[in-house]
Amino acid sequence: MILKKRLSTTGYYVVSAAIAVVSMIPFLWMISTSLKTQGAVMTVPIQWIPEEPTLQAYVDVFTTFSFARTVANSLFIAVTYTGVTLLSSSMAAFAFTKIHFRGNDLLLKVYLATMMIPTQVTMIPLFVVMNRLGLINSYSSVIMPSLFRPFAVFMLVQQMRTIPQDFLDAARIDGANTFQVFRKVALPMCKPTLATLMVTTFMESWNDYLWPLLMLTDRSKMTLPIALATLTGQYNPQYALLMAGSLISMIPIIIIYIMAQRSFQYGMMAGGIKG
């Protein structure tokens, strides 16, 4: 019995560690490559630990193109995008669940049904619309879609439905107006969902590729993923540079993920399946 238990413990850690190694190898590779000289990248056998480690790629990445500007663009866009998503979605969810008006249910259904429309279908006409509005190469072109986030509305509707009406009524009796009820009662009770959405939305916006690719063609406006992707198209790709850039691009997400770990996992579980 004890032997069997020990075997299963060993088995557990062997399998877990094997998957962990597979998950981690690309990141170790990224770090290792980012510390190499261009010559060392092209050597066989490969050097997992560079023989002459150098931080040159990290210096180069900031000097060959306006990398700092790109990081600033990405940060600005992701933060604004996330803020607008959380605000507009929670407002809509509040109206859908806590204010009674005719056509409420139907409107919610239409709104949520649009989740099924793939972005590719709307991509070309949206390009036309954005072009018409003169918004190509503007930050607003990549931030504005945050107004329309059916999935976020869906998650928040689920959460707001659990808030007892009595809470809201009590606040009303105390003289709060609709906006105050929303701010002081409804929003605080949605914290776990808001935290999850904050992480996932920030991540989506920060990592997004297709939409910024269409909208931001001006180098000074580009986000990190787009700028990184343009570097590969060059005749002689500088691998160390690309890896250094990739590594830097991951830092904010990892920080936010670790900070929000707890509520994030709770929210994933609450929202994941019912989706």
Partner 1 sequence: MRRGKRHGGPGGDGLLRASPFLLPSLIGLMIFSLLPLLISVGISLTDWNGLDSIGAAGFFQEHFVGLDNYKSILTGREFWQVLKNTGTYIVLYIPGMLVMSLTVAFLLSRERRGVMVFRVIYYLPVLTSWVAASLIWTTMLSPQYGAVNNILSLFGIKGPGWLLDPKWAMPAIVLVSIWKDMGFFGLILLSGMVDINKSYYEAASLDGAGAWTKFLRITLPLMTPAIFYVLIVSLINAFQLFPQIMIMTDGGPYGATQVMVERIYKYGFRYFRMGYAAAFSWILFVIIMTCTAIQMKAQKRWVHYDS
Q: Which of residues 255-274 bind partner 1 (CB under 8 A)?
A: 257-258, 261, 265, 268-269, 272-273
- The three-state secondary structure class of 199 is helix
CB closer to partner 1, 125 vs 175 = 125
Q: Compute the radius of gyration of the chain from its Cα atoms.
A: 24
**Residue 27 is encoded by which pair of tokens?**
């990141």
Measured between alpha carbons, how far is 259 from 193 in angstroms, rounded to an integer?
15
| Binding of residue 94 to partner 1 (CB under 8 A) | yes
Mark 74-93 with x for binding to partner 1 (rule: CB under 8 A) and - for no binding: ----------x--xxx-xx-
- Count of chain residues binding partner 1 (CB under 8 A): 101
CA gap 214, 71 in Å, rounded: 19
Regarding 117 and contact with partner 1 (CB under 8 A), the answer is yes
Measured from the CB atom, the residue of 79 and 203 that comes closer to partner 1 is 203
Are the C-beta atoms of 216 and 222 separated by less than 8 Å?
Answer: yes
What gap in Å lies between CA 50 and CA 31, rounded to an integer? 10
- Site residues for partner 1, 48-77, by CB under 8 A, read none
**Should residue 45 be labelled a site residue for partner 1 when binding is judged by CB under 8 A?**
yes
Cα–Cα distance measured from residue 221 to residue 177, given in angstroms and rounded to the nearest whole number:
41
3 scored as a contact of partner 1 (CB under 8 A): no
The verdict on 236 binding partner 1 (CB under 8 A) reads no
Site for partner 1 in 208-227 (CB under 8 A): 209-210, 214, 224-226
Per CB under 8 A, 165 contacts partner 1 = yes
Interface with partner 1 (CB under 8 A), residue from 2, 39, 120, 134: 120
φ, ψ dihedrals at 100, nearest 5° = -90, 125
In this structure, which amino acid lies at residue 222?
Answer: M
7 is a site residue for partner 1 (CB under 8 A): no
Q: What is the token pair recorded at 139?
A: 């930050």
Cβ-based nearer residue to partner 1, 220 or 265: 265
Contact with partner 1 (CB under 8 A): which of 196, 206, 215, 221? 206
Distance in Å, CB of 238 to partner 1, minimum: 11
Report the SS3 class of residue 236. coil
Residue 234 corresponds to which amino acid? Q
CA distance 269 to 275: 10
- In the set 55, 72, 124, 259, which binds partner 1 (CB under 8 A)? 124
Of 254, 262, 256, 253, residue with least CA distance to 191: 262
Q: Which of residues 130-159 bind partner 1 (CB under 8 A)?
A: 132, 144-149, 153
What would the x/- binding string for partner 1 be over residues 168 to 187, using CB under 8 A?
xx--------xx--x-----
Q: Report how far apart the first and last C-alpha atoms of the chain are (Å, whole number).
A: 42
H or E segment at 52? none
Smaller CB separation from partner 1, 10 or 220: 10
Applying CB under 8 A, among 6, 7, 10, 12 the residue interacting with partner 1 is 12
